């Protein structure tokens, strides 16, 4: 549930794992559908919410991915891309998020309507510049390569990100780990690293610790998306610590996708207590009907982390952020110290 409780809202926050495609407001989906003549199961917000939001725990991750089809179809033009980014920044600013990294999968998000990637990036950059000045935030972008779109798509996405590395300093490998083995994507990831891009990889969400280990050994990511199931093997926890890898943890998302059985069993605090650099994030705030304040509430009220411990997670996120040093340092000094 969205949370705007001042106890959490007033804290300056960092968010380094949020998907643009999972952060589109329901009313915006309706507005876009009307403007571009797109078909929706309903044009009434509360009714549409029931079709596109995940309120209860699912049996598997794939079901969530299906809910994204409507979101993909909503990305109808570069102007729409700019609007949804801007609205995500507005929603983030409302929660006092001061350092924000947003990720998007160009080959997935922009392919529904066959959009020009460079034109979409221009829209994203316009939204970023406007939001940074209006809300005094530091904003960064990460290009996702989606495993389900295959190794060729990964090559295309990495080459595109390298070409725009001044504006897109990092890539992320996302999507179903079980169906699309990591090794097919390793050459592209290594190419990105060689070109100076930072790398984060979704792993150990609904897959066991062995997947996290393999990911670290084959691809040496700077950060890991989720990684929570590392908790099942202390050797993997040690490996994460040794390499100084930060985990981008998304508690409510992990519960809804059944990656943890109950929210009380979520290993965020256990990993933190073991010395892993855990960060707290919302993943897909609109699809999952959450926000960062809600993730903080869960960390504090359900998992028993103190507000001081949560502040340490903010510091971990700041240190691990891919936003250029001078930009992130400025907001850190202004709001977090
Ligand atoms: Zn994610």
Q: Does residue 292 form part of some domain?
A: yes
Does position 59 have pLDDT exceeding 80, yes or no?
Answer: no
Q: Does residue 1 form part of some domain?
A: no
Residue 308 C-alpha to ligand 1 middle, in angstroms? Answer: 25
Give the pLDDT confidence score for residue 27 in this predicted structure.
97
Q: Which has the closest alpha carbon to 107: 174, 42, 57?
A: 174
Distance, in Å, from the CA atom of 183 to the CA atom of 151, rounded to the nearest integer, reads: 10
Separation in Å, CA 122 to CA 85, 183, 306, 329: 12, 32, 41, 25
Q: Does residue 38 form part of some domain?
A: yes
Q: What is the 3-state secondary structure (H, E, C) of 217-247?
A: HHHCCCEEEECHHHHHCHHHHHHHHHHCCEE
Beta carbons within 10 angstroms of residue 323's beta carbon: 22
Q: What is the 3-state secondary structure (H, E, C) of 89-138?
A: HHHHHHCCEEEEEEEECHHHHCCCCCCCHHHHHHHHHHHHHHHHHHHCCE
Long-range contacts (CB closer than 8 Å, 24 or more residues apart) made by 295-302: 295/250, 295/251, 295/252, 296/3, 296/8, 296/11, 296/13, 297/3, 297/5, 297/8, 298/251, 298/252, 298/263, 298/266, 299/251, 299/268, 299/269, 300/8, 302/263, 302/264, 302/266
Residue 311 C-alpha to ligand 1 middle, in angstroms? Answer: 22
Residue 283 C-alpha to ligand 1 middle, in angstroms? Answer: 5
Residue 18 C-alpha to ligand 1 middle, in angstroms? Answer: 7
Tell how strand 246-249 and strand 223-226 pair up.
parallel
Q: Where does the pLDDT of residue 51 fall: very low under 50, low under 70, confident under 90, or very high at 90 and above? A: confident
Q: Which has the closest alpha carbon to 52: 35, 75, 29?
A: 29
Give the pLDDT confidence score for residue 137 in this predicted structure.
98
Name the more confident of 216 and 58. Answer: 216
Please state the domain count of the chain: 1
Q: Does residue 136 form part of some domain?
A: yes
Give the pLDDT confidence score for residue 58 in this predicted structure.
75
Distance, in Å, from the CA atom of 222 to the CA atom of 67, rounded to the nearest integer, reads: 29
Residue 184 C-alpha to ligand 1 middle, in angstroms? Answer: 20
Q: Quick one: tokens of 94?
A: 């409302």
Residue 36 C-alpha to ligand 1 middle, in angstroms? Answer: 28
Residue 234 C-alpha to ligand 1 middle, in angstroms? Answer: 24
Residue 40 C-alpha to ligand 1 middle, in angstroms? Answer: 25
- Tell me the pTM: 0.97
Q: Which has the closest alpha carbon to 161: 130, 117, 119, 129?
A: 117
Q: Does residue 98 form part of some domain?
A: yes
Element housing 170 (H / E): strand 170-174
Does position 66 have pLDDT exceeding 70, yes or no?
Answer: no
Distance, in Å, from the CA atom of 251 to the CA atom of 319, rounded to the nearest integer, reads: 21
pLDDT digits (tens, 9 = 90+) for 99-128: 999 999 999 999 999 999 999 999 999 999
Q: Does residue 251 form part of some domain?
A: yes
With both helix axes pointing from N to C terminus, report the angle between 209-219 and 186-194 in degrees, rounded to the nearest 10: 50
- Domain hosting residue 91, numbered range: 6-336
CATH number for position 253: 3.20.20.140
Q: Which has the closest alpha carbon to 314: 96, 6, 2, 86?
A: 96
- 66-80, 213-227, 257-271, 304-318: which has the minimum mean pLDDT? 66-80
Residue 78 C-alpha to ligand 1 middle, in angstroms? Answer: 23
Q: Does residue 187 form part of some domain?
A: yes
Q: Where does the pLDDT of residue 229 fall: very low under 50, low under 70, confident under 90, or very high at 90 and above? A: very high
Separation in Å, CA 258 to CA 48, 60, 67, 194, 319: 23, 6, 16, 36, 30
Q: Where does the pLDDT of residue 294 fall: very low under 50, low under 70, confident under 90, or very high at 90 and above? A: very high
Q: Does residue 283 form part of some domain?
A: yes
């Amino acid at each position: 549930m969205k949370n705007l409780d001042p106890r959490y809202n007033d804290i300056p926050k960092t968010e380094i794992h949020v998907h643009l495609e999972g952060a589109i407001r329901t009313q915006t989906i309706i507005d876009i559908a009307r403007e571009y003549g797109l078909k929706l199961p309903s044009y009434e917000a509360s009714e549409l919410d029931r079709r596109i939001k995940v309120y209860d725990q699912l049996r598997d991750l794939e079901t969530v991915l299906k809910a994204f089809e409507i979101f993909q179809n909503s990305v109808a033009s570069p102007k729409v891309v700019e609007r949804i980014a801007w609205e995500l920044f507005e929603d983030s600013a409302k929660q006092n998020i001061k350092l924000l990294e947003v990720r998007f999968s160009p080959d997935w998000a922009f392919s529904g309507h066959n959009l020009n990637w460079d034109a979409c990036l221009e829209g994203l950059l316009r939204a970023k510049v406007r939001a940074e000045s209006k809300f005094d935030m530091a904003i960064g972008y990460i290009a996702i390569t989606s495993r389900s779109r295959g190794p060729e798509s990964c090559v295309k996405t990495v080459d595109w990100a390298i070409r725009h590395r001044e504006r897109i300093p990092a890539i992320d490998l996302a999507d179903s780990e079980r169906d699309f083995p990591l090794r097919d994507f390793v050459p592209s990831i290594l190419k990105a690293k060689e070109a100076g891009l930072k790398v984060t990889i979704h792993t150990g969400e609904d897959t066991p610790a062995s997947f996290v280990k393999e990911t670290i050994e084959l691809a040496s990511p700077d950060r890991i998306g989720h990684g929570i199931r590392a908790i099942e093997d202390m050797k993997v926890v040690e490996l994460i610590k040794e390499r100084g890898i930060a985990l981008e943890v998304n508690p409510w998302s992990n519960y809804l996708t059944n990656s943890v059985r109950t929210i009380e069993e979520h290993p965020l605090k256990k990993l933190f207590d073991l010395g892993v650099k855990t960060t707290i994030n919302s993943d897909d705030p609109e699809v999952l009907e959450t926000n960062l304040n809600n993730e903080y509430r869960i960390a504090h009220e359900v998992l028993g982390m103190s507000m001081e411990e949560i502040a340490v997670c903010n510091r971990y996120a700041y240190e691990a952020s891919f936003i250029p040093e001078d930009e992130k340092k400025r907001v850190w000094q202004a709001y977090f110290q």
